[in-house]
Structures are given as structure tokens and as C-alpha cells.
Amino acid sequence: MASEVEDTSRRDFLVIAGNAFAAVGAAATLWPFVAQMNPDAGAQALASVEIDLSPVKEGQAITAMWRGKPIFIRNRTADEIKAAETVPVADLPDPSARNDLLPEATPALDTNRVKEGKDNWLILVGICTHLGCIPKGQAMADTRGDFGGWFCPCHGSHYDTSGRIRKGPAPRNLEVPPYEFVSDTKIKIG
């Protein structure tokens, strides 16, 4: 009787040890396949970009690239801010702020599309929400449309000084990417 108990515990140990050895071997075999799915260093480098805003004067705009998309950065004038703040949300075709850092149902008030205390800086993904064209309005000589913001020449969409659709076939406001101020003159997008 003692030998049966001894044989059973020895057999159990061998089964457990064999299964553990097989599990470790399977994990070691699968790890390279799982690890290759992680993004490479080049893709991680594109995940965020820092932009120096110090050379951008009031009323000027620059275009940067982030994840292969143009990013419109405008240092708005006091008149542009005032024009954007006075627009009632009820008058907008798209009532959503389209700010990646806020919930989808956030109203499209100008204050929900900029950072508090940095109202003059407007950061947008510069792709028309109709068919993906690049709107005009970044250069001083560009046509800015009926509302002083951006104008998409492809199909005639007009955006205001807060990047909200006001007229034309575009169904949505220009998107506000995730960004933060890392200093008074530098932002990090992504």
C-alpha cells in the first residue's frame, strides 16, 4: 500500500514537471511572434512630435506633420478669437467639439477646441472632413472662406476661425489632435 501512494505522487510530479516544461517551451517559441507585432522604433518616433511656437507671430499660421497628417497651428488674433467665441452652437452644422481629449458629446464651443489660458493657439488636423482635401487658409495670401478660417477649394467647404464647419458639404468640424503645452512656447502633439 505504501508503494502505491509513493508511485502516485512520483507520477504526479513527473506529469506536472513535463507540463511545465512544455508550457515554458511553447512560451519561448511564441514570444518572437508576439514581440514582432510591437511597433518599431520608427513608428514610435512618429507617435508624438514637439513643435516650437516662438517664431509664430500673432495672426500667422504654420503647418507641421504628425503621423503623416498636416497639422494646422494658428496664433489667432483677438478679433479671430472674438469671432469664434460669439458663434452660437445651434448655428453650427456639427455641434461636437471633435477634440480628441474631450468626450464626443462635448459642444463645439471655441473654449472646447483650445487649451484654457492659451486661447490664441488653435491646433487642428488640416484635412477637410468631406473628402480629405487640404483646406486653404494657412498662408496669408490664401482664401480663407466666408468665415475667416479655412476654405476647401475641392468642394467649397468653409471653416471658421475655430476650425468648425460653417458652410459646404463637409459633415464635421476639423479635428483637434491630442496635444499639450510642454512650455509657454512649445507643444507636444500625440
Average pLDDT of the chain to the nearest whole number: 86
Give burial (CB, 10 Å; 0-12/13-18/19+) of 117.
Answer: exposed
pLDDT of residue 5: 55
pLDDT of residue 167: 92
Residue 98 has pLDDT above 80, yes or no: yes
> pLDDT, tens digit, for every residue of 122-167?
999 999 988 888 998 888 888 888 888 999 988 889 999 998 999 9
Q: Which three cell numbers stand for residue 27?
A: 512560451
Give the angle subtended at the CA of 71 by the CAs of 66 and 73, to the nearest 5°. 135
pLDDT of residue 67: 86
Q: What is the pTM of this model?
A: 0.73
pLDDT of residue 148: 86
pLDDT of residue 142: 83
Contact between residue 172 and residue 131 where contact means Cβ atoms under 8 Å apart = no
State the average pLDDT over residues 25-39.
83
Q: How confident is the model at residue 43 (pLDDT cuts 50, 70, 90)?
A: low
> pLDDT, tens digit, for every residue of 103-117?
888 898 989 999 988
pLDDT of residue 169: 92
> pLDDT, tens digit, for every residue of 53-77?
889 899 899 999 988 899 999 999 9
Active site residues: 155
